[in-house]
Amino acid sequence: MPVPEPTPLERFLNGILPENPVYRQLLGLCPTLAVTAAMKPAMTMVGATAFVLICANLITSLIRHLLKPHLRILVFTLTIATFVTIADRTLAAFAYPMSKLLGPYVPLIIVNCMIISRCEVCSSKQGPKAALADAVGVSLGFLLALASVATVREILGNGSWFGIQLVPESFPTLILMILPPGAFLALGSLLGLATWLGHRRRARESAAEAGSV
């Protein structure tokens, strides 16, 4: 018997934590490492990625019955590239300094496996409602991931959060955290923490199940 596809609500909730693109699937690591030195660029990247993901998921879901299996990846890429270009040009028009700061990372959303994997796993198989819920859920999951890494890096490395100074400027900061090695240190530590919390939760659940049996 075929396994039923998840409902839109399940898709939405799964994207946030159980199937978090960064902490669970280890996808989208390039922007997670590259643009998380501060919250502002990280949140701009989340916004651009969410826009592309939502549009790509909706379009591929609407045309899912017309897709030919051997040409589907081409359709996904074409769709994603179109919306990435729109996001890139929109940033250059309305947030030029941020567009310059993010540099090649906005065009690089095209090769973010997180987006193409959602087209493959969800939107090419389910209707627009589930595809939209999935895209919003995964975007929120991506937001959580980038916000957590950027928060750790900006506070430790710069003493600020979202550009707001939290500690006096004379306070010593760990400059390393806003440099590239800081991205690996922050992501590695948070990934370890997320995995440890997951293991602990599962251990508790299985202990509770054993107790009830």
Tell me if residue 23 falls in helix, strand or coil: coil
Q: Which two tokens stand for residue 170?
A: 């004379």
Among 13, 67, 147, 185, binds another protein (CB under 8 A): 67
Q: b/e string for 23-37 if b means 16 or more Cβ within 10 A?
A: bbeebbbebbbbbbb
Type of residue numbered 142: F
Question: In terms of C-beta density within 10 A (0-12 exposed, 13-18 middle, 19 or more buried), how is residue 184 classed?
Answer: exposed
- Rounded to a whole number of angstroms, the CA Rg of the chain reads 19
Identity of the residue, 71 or 213, whose beta carbon is nearer to another protein in the bound complex: 71
**Binding of another protein by 66 (CB under 8 A):** yes
Report DSSP state, residue 159.
S
**Binding of another protein by 124 (CB under 8 A):** no
To 10 degrees, the CA torsion angle through 144, 49, 181, 150? -40
**Binding of another protein by 86 (CB under 8 A):** yes
**Binding of another protein by 84 (CB under 8 A):** no
Q: Which two tokens stand for residue 132?
A: 């939209």
Identity of the residue, 94 or 171, whose beta carbon is nearer to another protein in the bound complex: 94
**Binding of another protein by 68 (CB under 8 A):** yes
Contact 37, 157 (CB under 8 A): yes
**Binding of another protein by 63 (CB under 8 A):** yes
Identity of the residue, 65 or 171, whose beta carbon is nearer to another protein in the bound complex: 65
**Binding of another protein by 76 (CB under 8 A):** no
Identity of the residue, 12 or 105, whose beta carbon is nearer to another protein in the bound complex: 105
Among 25, 26, 47, 85, binds another protein (CB under 8 A): 85
**Binding of another protein by 92 (CB under 8 A):** yes
Footprint of another protein on this chain (CB under 8 A)?
A: 34, 63, 66-68, 71, 74-75, 78-79, 82, 85-86, 89-90, 92-94, 96, 100, 103-105, 107, 180
